[in-house]
């Protein structure tokens, strides 16, 4: 079996959420427990940190992993979705899981679990999570940063007993699964808060959302830490060309490699997490925090967060895809010096397309396109909806064609932005890497 055959088996034998959306979503942890028992509970062999939330959980997870690596820990990192290669989801000290290990896992699945009774068959994410937990045990990691896939309470990562739980923020996303109000979404994400495990809330949001977290913490019996109230981050300065410089209470001056406007919020969460980990004996030094924050992409392979693809014209891609994420992106685009703004954009059909489009700049030149996943909104339909919001441009059947057109039209002092969907960014990176 080749690596491509192994990943094709995973993607096809168990539906891939990023391709088909709702059809791949499956509530409940029964299959996860079955897989966990089959592999002898591998996640119990190492410490874990659980990271949930609507936006920022990927950046937070990668940065914490980078900081812990800098401190000398052997760190597992499980995130989703992947952009170019499935193996991005499962890393140890930044190195992706080997192709052969994925092949071996699939071959074992096809024999040892053949005929096992499940609820509707194993989902892609259940299998990927089982592989991650097993691989981290095999590699004898000291600690694993585990990012929630979707929601919290019923997410299959939620079988772990972490040393720290983190919820970055609450915004509207996946409302068909998690609820159509912020308190309902918060209730699902609060499901990762556990007895006697400190929980950090990055952004509390409105009063009703805060109440949801406070009630959950009281119900299970644990401490709640609101990162915005900790006062660790004293001040910060942002430059579109040099990124963030932070002044902190404990760690002095820090430089943040990640430069999206949302990173100031994420940094408050990350620093609160480091402080909590130090309370339980991790011994993370100022030097390690500084190194991890300033080299997060190098240490962990993170891509797609306000990532510079080209400097002339400045070409940026970002995976922000919901209202909360696009608000930061729109603001940063407007405040970054440029002549004309070119936006290559597409979305998937289960997002709040109208609200996202309503906040985008009207004076940009648009290149409407669609990603190479089944969930992608057809470009003609997307363009029609965009027109209702006074956004105008041309349609392209794929991201590569849209990028070629934008490059041809742009001058050196312009900006080209690529985004609207994680999968648009994935196609872009596949096009240039």
Q: Please report where in the chains the tokens 């190098």 appear, as a residue.
A: 298
Peptide bond just before 313 cis, omega within 30 deg: yes
Indicate the pLDDT class of residue 375, thresholds 50, 70 and 90. confident
Q: What would the two tokens of residue 433 be?
A: 């890497």
Q: How confident is the model at residue 117, as a pLDDT? A: 59
Q: How far apart are CA 315 and CA 338, in angstroms?
A: 11
Residue 361, token pair as written in the block: 């700049």
Answer yes or no: are the C-beta atoms of 368 and 399 closer than 8 Å.
no
In the predicted structure, residue 94 carries a pLDDT above the cut 90 = yes
94/65 Cα distance (integer angstroms): 8
Task: Note the pLDDT of residue 152.
Answer: 87
Integer distance in angstroms from the first to the last C-alpha of the chain? 25
* Residue 8 preceded by cis peptide, ω within 30: no
CB 301 within 8 A of CB 91: yes
Identify the band that residue 173 occupies on the pLDDT scale cut at 50, 70 and 90: low
pTM: 0.91
Q: What is the mean pLDDT of residues 300-311?
A: 93
User: Does the pLDDT of residue 14 top 70, yes or no?
Assistant: no
pLDDT band at 335, cuts 50/70/90? confident
**pLDDT tens-digit readout, 120-158:** 678 889 999 999 999 999 999 999 999 999 888 889 999
**Cα–Cα dist 247/237, whole Å:** 9
pLDDT tens-digit profile of 410-421?
999 999 999 999
Q: Are 321 and 347 in contact (CB under 8 A)?
A: yes
Nearest CA to 392 among 349, 342, 354? 342
Residue 240 confidence (pLDDT): 66
| Mean pLDDT confidence for 168-196 | 79
User: Could you give the CA distance from residue 433 to residue 426 in angstroms, rounded to a whole number?
Assistant: 10
Quote the tokens at residue 109: 């699945």
pLDDT at 378: 96
Q: Which fold has domain 3-300?
A: 3.40.1190
Angle at 149 between CA 147 and CA 152, to 5 degrees: 90
Phi, psi angles (nearest 5°) of residue 107: -65, -40
CA distances from 267 to 57, 223, 254, 386 (A): 11, 20, 10, 33
For residue 201, the model assigns a pLDDT of 96
Q: Please name the fold of domain 307-432.
A: 3.90.190
3-state DSSP assignment of residue 290? helix
Q: In the chain, count H helices and then E strands.
A: 17, 17
Q: pLDDT tens digits, residue range 54-81?
A: 889 999 999 999 999 999 999 999 999 9
Q: For residue 85, name the pLDDT band (cuts at 50, 70, 90).
A: very high
| 320 vs 307: CA distance, rounded Å | 12
Taking residue 280's Cβ as centre, other Cβ atoms within 10 Å add up to 10
Nearest to 326 by CA among 303, 349, 354, 298: 354
Residue 321 reports pLDDT greater than 80? no
Ranking 21-35, 220-234, 379-393 by mean pLDDT, the lowest is 21-35
pLDDT bucket at 13, cuts 50 / 70 / 90: low
* Phi, psi of 181, rounded to the nearest 5 degrees: -130, 160
Q: What are phi and psi of 296, to 5 degrees?
A: -65, -40
Residue length of the chain? 433
Q: How confident is the model at residue 259 (pLDDT cuts 50, 70, 90)?
A: confident
Q: Can you give the residue ranges of every domain in the chain? A: 3-300, 307-432
């Amino acid at each position: 079996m080749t690596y491509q055959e192994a990943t094709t088996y995973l993607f096809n034998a168990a539906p891939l959420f990023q391709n088909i959306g709702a059809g791949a979503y499956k509530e409940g942890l029964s299959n996860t427990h079955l897989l966990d028992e089959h592999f002898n509970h591998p996640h119990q062999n190492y410490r874990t940190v659980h990271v949930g939330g609507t936006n920022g959980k990927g950046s937070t997870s990668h940065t914490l992993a980078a900081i812990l690596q800098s401190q000398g820990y052997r760190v597992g990192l499980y995130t989703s979705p992947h952009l170019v290669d499935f193996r991005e989801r499962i890393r140890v000290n930044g190195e992706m899981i080997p192709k052969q290990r994925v092949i071996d896992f699939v071959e074992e699945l096809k024999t040892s679990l053949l005929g096992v009774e499940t609820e509707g068959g194993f989902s892609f994410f259940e299998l990927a999570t089982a592989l991650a937990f097993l691989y981290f045990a095999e590699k004898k990691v000291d600690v694993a940063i585990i990012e929630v896939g979707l929601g919290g309470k019923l997410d299959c990562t939620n079988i772990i007993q972490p040393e720290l739980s983190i919820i970055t923020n609450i915004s509207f996303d996946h409302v068909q699964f998690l609820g159509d109000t912020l308190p309902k979404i918060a209730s699902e994400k609060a499901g990762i808060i556990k007895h006697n495990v400190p929980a950090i809330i990055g952004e509390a949001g409105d009063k009703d959302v805060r109440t949801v977290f406070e009630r959950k913490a009281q119900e299970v019996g644990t401490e709640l830490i609101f990162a915005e109230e900790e006062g660790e981050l004293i001040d910060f300065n942002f430059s579109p060309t040099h990124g963030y410089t932070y002044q902190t209470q404990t760690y002095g001056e820090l430089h943040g490699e990640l430069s999206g406007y949302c990173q100031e919020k994420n940094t408050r969460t990350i620093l609160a997490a480091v402080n909590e980990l130090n309370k339980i004996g991790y011994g993370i030094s100022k030097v390690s925090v500084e190194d991890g924050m300033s080299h997060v992409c190098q240490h962990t392979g993170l891509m797609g967060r306000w990532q510079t693809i080209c400097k002339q014209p400045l070409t940026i891609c970002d995976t922000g895809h919901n209202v909360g994420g696009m608000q930061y992106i729109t603001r940063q685009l407007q405040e970054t010096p440029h002549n004309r703004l070119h936006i290559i954009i597409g979305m998937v059909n289960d997002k709040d397309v109208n609200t996202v489009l309503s906040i985008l700049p009207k004076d940009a030149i648009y290149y409407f396109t669609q990603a190479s996943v089944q969930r992608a909104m057809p470009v003609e339909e997307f363009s029609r909806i965009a027109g209702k919001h006074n956004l105008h441009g041309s349609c392209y059947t794929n991201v590569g064609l849209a990028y070629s057109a934008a490059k041809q039209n742009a001058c050196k002092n312009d900006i080209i932005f690529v985004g609207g969907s994680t999968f648009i960014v994935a196609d872009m990176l596949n096009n240039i890497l």
